Amino acid sequence: MVKRRLYKFLKRITPINPGEEIISLLLFFYFFLITLAFGVIKSLRDASYLDKLGPENLPIAYATAIIVGVVVAFHAKLQVKISRRILIIYTLVFSFLMCILFFLLFQTGWKWLPLAYWIWANLVVVLLITQFWITVNDVLNPREAKRMIGFFGSGGILGGIIGGILTGFLAKSNESYALLFIPSVFLMVCIFVVGAVFRWNERRLEEKMPGKEKTRKQKVTETKVGFHVCFDTVRKSSYLKLLALVVVITGIVSTFIDWQSKNIIANWPSIKENLTAFFGIFSAGMLVFAFLLQLLMTSNIIRRFGLGLALLVYPLILFFCSFGIAVWPVIFFAIVIKGADKSLSYSLNQSARELLYIPISPVVKYRAKVFIDMFLNRLAKGVGAGFLLLIFLLPPNLWIISVSIISAFFILVWIILNVKVSREYTNTVKKNLVLKWDRAESLIDRNIDRETTRLVFDLVESRTQSDDLFAMHLFDLIRQGKLTPEIRRFLGYVPENAKVTSVGALFDAQDAGLFFGGEEGLGEEELKKEVEEILSLDVYQQVIKNHFLRITTDVDGSETARMEAAKAIGFMKPDSPLVDKLTVFLDDKSPGVSRYAIESAAKLKLREHVTFMIKKLSDPKLCGDIEDALETYGNLIVGMLADHLGDETMELEVHRSLCSVLARIGTQEAADFFIWEMDEGKSDVETEIIDALHQICSKNPAIRFEEYSVHKKIREKIESYCRSYLEMDENKIVPTEGESAASKDKELEGILTNVFRLLGLVYPREDIDKAFQNIRTGTKNSIAYAIELLDNTLKKDTRDLLIPLIEDISEEEKKERCRTLLKWLKGFKDREDKSRSHH
């Protein structure tokens, strides 16, 4: 009951699913507590340093980032020895103790103590924040993380706000260092929250992955590696190297910005009197903004504009402000740049950057985060400080302008890297998905030579039929250069019931190949030439014409004789007078004879035989052979086939076969015809047409499809999906006999299949197929990756239409989305009609 209420309450704020309420709250509080603690620690860090050592010594403080990097390397070694849960708890206890220790040390008034405090404060933030994100990656899958990031991310910002406010108000007294008791309390509370998070995760593993799988999952989540392994992991991946570069540049730039803003702010007359209070309130103000941004806009910006653009907002603002400071170094730019840094870096930029880790496997992600977020991030700040120290070799009046110009340059590099990394992100998502199956046609085309297989089968079968038919098949193999040594060896076996006496006996020899190239002289090439020449002899035509007359008038018309004649015509030239007889054999009452005639028609490729064959397409005994034969005609008969497909008097089965043939021909003309037919929307074989288009697309990626028509059909299909879904759900349709919920499900799946097939025509086909196959048959994680891939591949309009239908959401929500989509589609149609009538 309480859980349900909690879910209902949280659902209003964040798009969580049932069962996620506890973990989202725990992560919210975990992040809240560490950022609250750090908010206080950090404000005290900046104020104490500027107060005691002044802004001129800031580069020294920045340079200490390298020390933090070294400690992180040590931390990476330490975590090999203990579990992640214990490590986090130890870190929290250590931070608590250090707060107390620094409170005591600050009483001494030692001048350089703020520097030591600076180092420790930076160490605390890097350890606690990175440990938090690693925990997120451990307990949530990518889609869960994406759903909840807005919520628990805002917890972190809220912690920063409250920390800032507390510091701002309480620091007015002279006992600023007493504030260190605040973080120490929150860090202690955090220990219990961390314990609860790990307990929740264990419970979930227990429920979802009993036995073996659980052990495996635990192994994965608790993989512990040393620092050098983390470094190697990043070094070997181009994507991680890009991410690392982004972090390095971000670190350098943030050091510059920090110095630019603090230098101007600390010297601004009205502020420098009470720096601690200013930084406290300013930080709190910016964090309120960041909190609202995170809670209300971050998810929307990422969803609406994609990760690529979300990653650009922050550096673009910094670029303009940095440029502004170079030109006019006033408090306005200093506050805006620091404000952008405070608000966007903790909200939009942080969320987008964390999402970049989603497509990486958990083990690699952990290693990458240790090296990039803990070590490189700190190191980059040190490098930034190094740059600052170099700049300080210039005259002081050039410092601000030099820092700002160099900063602008680094930001430009950062922008370019962000563009690259967001492109690489989609590729990395793709790598997580495998194409589970290929189209059967492509598979067969790749692996099987259908023509040879058929010939060999015919050859073997003809052994029991007639010598001559056997010889013809053998010659056919030779003619097509397909009488391989394997087939010769295979043919060496003669079954007991074989009728073959003369030619069959040739293969009784140990090496049948001798026959065609051996002592007797006639090689395969010569044999081909011989036969061709004989067939074109006038005297031959004269002799065989009489034979044909006899067999077709039933004087000597055995079925075998007709088969032989039908087969032999295929060896003749298309202009041979005997070829006229083929129509008689095509129309033969015996399917065996027709089959050979169809095969010969395929060799001759004469248009006059096409209509004969199309008429026979309804015969299941011949349908497959006719489809094969018609395919060999290629583009030559696309128009004829299209005309027949448009002929409403023909049977549905014939239309289906024609679709299959056109798909196998697969030329641009065939594709154009299908698109036209689909556009007309009258066809009884729409699903077959969409499948044929998909087949053409997979066979020949160079074929182009009319985008407008494809998108129009996609919209129609999605509309039909929504209607069917709502009808099914609202029971508007009373299932008739034979119609059940299962058949309705099947109908929905059919529509979705068509939508994806259509998408494959206008987007990278393999990516769409991968996504679809994983959505249909994948695990929860692979479905999440598939949706992520679509999210980054499809254009906004299509994405908004499709993703609501495939996301893992409650039925109620899906119904609501279907209604919204139907409204949108109606509006779109109205707008389109209006614009058409206007034109």
Is position 506 an interface residue for another protein (rule: CB under 8 A)? yes
Which conformational region is residue 406 in: left (phi greater than 0), alpha (psi within -120 to 50 degrees), or beta?
Answer: alpha
Please report how close the Cβ of residue 756 comes to another protein at its closest, in angstroms: 50
Binding to another protein (CB under 8 A) within 384-423 occurs at: none
Residue span binding another protein (CB under 8 A) among the ranges 381-389, 400-408, 524-532, 716-724: 524-532
Complex with another protein: residue 468 or 788, whichever CB lies closer:
468
Q: Are 141 and 780 in contact (CB under 8 A)?
A: yes
What is the CA angle 768-354-24, rounded to 5?
100
User: How many Å apart are CA 527 and CA 521, to the nearest integer?
Assistant: 10
Complex with another protein: residue 445 or 508, whichever CB lies closer:
508
Complex with another protein: residue 515 or 705, whichever CB lies closer:
515
Longest distance between any two alpha carbons in the chain, whole Å = 125
Residue span binding another protein (CB under 8 A) among the ranges 2-10, 239-247, 529-537, 753-761: 529-537
Please report how close the Cβ of residue 529 comes to another protein at its closest, in angstroms: 8
The 3-state secondary structure of 238-275 reads: HHHHHHHHHHHHHHHHHHHHHHHHHHHHHCCCCCHHHH
CA torsion, ordered 53, 56, 59, 62, to nearest 10 deg: 40
User: How many Å apart are CA 72 and CA 76, to the nearest integer?
Assistant: 6
Is position 533 an interface residue for another protein (rule: CB under 8 A)? yes
Complex with another protein: residue 117 or 475, whichever CB lies closer:
475
Binding to another protein (CB under 8 A) within 560-589 occurs at: 561, 564-565, 568, 571
Please report how close the Cβ of residue 577 comes to another protein at its closest, in angstroms: 15
CA atoms within 13 A on the CB side of 738: 0
How many other C-beta atoms can be found within 10 angstroms of the C-beta atom of residue 538?
8
Please report how close the Cβ of residue 581 comes to another protein at its closest, in angstroms: 12
70-99 footprint of another protein as x/- string (CB under 8 A) = ------------------------------
Is position 509 an interface residue for another protein (rule: CB under 8 A)? no
Complex with another protein: residue 72 or 568, whichever CB lies closer:
568
With tokens 């190697």, the residue in question is 232
User: How many Å apart are CA 760 and CA 768, to the nearest integer?
Assistant: 6
User: How many Å apart are CA 601 and CA 633, to the nearest integer?
Assistant: 9
Is position 499 an interface residue for another protein (rule: CB under 8 A)? no
CA 700 to mean position of chain CA atoms: 22
Residue span binding another protein (CB under 8 A) among the ranges 163-171, 423-431, 536-544, 731-739: 536-544
Is position 540 an interface residue for another protein (rule: CB under 8 A)? yes
Please report how close the Cβ of residue 556 comes to another protein at its closest, in angstroms: 8
User: How many Å apart are CA 693 and CA 765, to the nearest integer?
Assistant: 11
Contacts of residue 311, defined as CB under 8 A and 6 or more positions apart, other chains included, come to 349, 352, 353, 418, 421, 422
Complex with another protein: residue 97 or 509, whichever CB lies closer:
509
Is position 627 an interface residue for another protein (rule: CB under 8 A)? no
Among candidates 153, 66, 89, 120, which has minimal Cα distance to 382? 66
Of the candidate residues 13, 116, 416, 537, the single one contacting another protein (CB under 8 A): 537
Of the candidate residues 531, 623, 640, 809, the single one contacting another protein (CB under 8 A): 531
Please report how close the Cβ of residue 475 comes to another protein at its closest, in angstroms: 4
Write the burial class of residue 533 (CB in 10 Å: 0-12 exposed, 13-18 middle, 19+ buried).
Answer: exposed
Q: Are 305 and 314 in contact (CB under 8 A)?
A: no
Among candidates 435, 433, 441, 437, which has minimal Cα distance to 697? 441
Complex with another protein: residue 544 or 604, whichever CB lies closer:
544
Residues in the chain: 839
Complex with another protein: residue 109 or 521, whichever CB lies closer:
521
Residue span binding another protein (CB under 8 A) among the ranges 261-269, 514-522, 646-654, 828-836: 514-522
Terminal-to-terminal C-alpha distance of the chain:
59
Q: Which two tokens stand for residue 795?
A: 């254009």
User: How many Å apart are CA 549 and CA 504, to the nearest integer?
Assistant: 29
Of the candidate residues 83, 542, 740, 810, the single one contacting another protein (CB under 8 A): 542
With tokens 């130890």, the residue in question is 90
Distances (CA, A) of 455 to 461, 478, 561: 10, 11, 19
Amino acid at site 160: G
Binding to another protein (CB under 8 A) within 725-764 occurs at: none
Of the candidate residues 514, 534, 652, 741, the single one contacting another protein (CB under 8 A): 534
- Enclosing H/E stretch for 480: none
Please report how close the Cβ of residue 541 comes to another protein at its closest, in angstroms: 10
Please report how close the Cβ of residue 568 comes to another protein at its closest, in angstroms: 5
Please report how close the Cβ of residue 542 comes to another protein at its closest, in angstroms: 6
Q: Are 202 and 84 in contact (CB under 8 A)?
A: no
Complex with another protein: residue 529 or 573, whichever CB lies closer:
529
User: How many Å apart are CA 597 and CA 563, to the nearest integer?
Assistant: 8
Complex with another protein: residue 505 or 741, whichever CB lies closer:
505
Complex with another protein: residue 290 or 474, whichever CB lies closer:
474
User: How many Å apart are CA 448 and CA 567, to the nearest integer?
Assistant: 23
Based on C-alpha coordinates, what's the Rg of the chain?
38
Of the candidate residues 67, 189, 503, 809, the single one contacting another protein (CB under 8 A): 503
Of the candidate residues 502, 611, 777, 810, the single one contacting another protein (CB under 8 A): 502
Complex with another protein: residue 93 or 543, whichever CB lies closer:
543
Of the candidate residues 547, 699, 723, 799, the single one contacting another protein (CB under 8 A): 547
User: How many Å apart are CA 669 and CA 647, to the nearest integer?
Assistant: 19
453-492 footprint of another protein as x/- string (CB under 8 A) = --------------xx-xxx-xx-----------------
Please report how close the Cβ of residue 470 comes to another protein at its closest, in angstroms: 8
Complex with another protein: residue 562 or 644, whichever CB lies closer:
562
Among candidates 334, 348, 427, which has minimal Cα distance to 154? 348
Q: Are 394 and 402 in contact (CB under 8 A)?
A: yes
Is position 165 an interface residue for another protein (rule: CB under 8 A)? no
Q: Which two tokens stand for residue 155?
A: 């917890």
Of the candidate residues 515, 721, 763, 772, the single one contacting another protein (CB under 8 A): 515
Amino acid at site 590: S
What is the CA angle 272-274-275, rounded to 5?
70
User: How many residues sit close enough to another protein to count as binding (CB under 8 A)?
Assistant: 35
Complex with another protein: residue 554 or 730, whichever CB lies closer:
554
Complex with another protein: residue 397 or 546, whichever CB lies closer:
546
Residue span binding another protein (CB under 8 A) among the ranges 387-395, 559-567, 603-611, 747-755: 559-567
Residue span binding another protein (CB under 8 A) among the ranges 183-191, 371-379, 520-528, 697-705: 520-528
Complex with another protein: residue 70 or 505, whichever CB lies closer:
505
Query: What residues line the site for another protein (CB under 8 A)?
Result: 467-468, 470-472, 474-475, 502-503, 505-506, 515, 520-522, 527, 529-531, 533-535, 537, 539-540, 542-544, 546-547, 561, 564-565, 568, 571
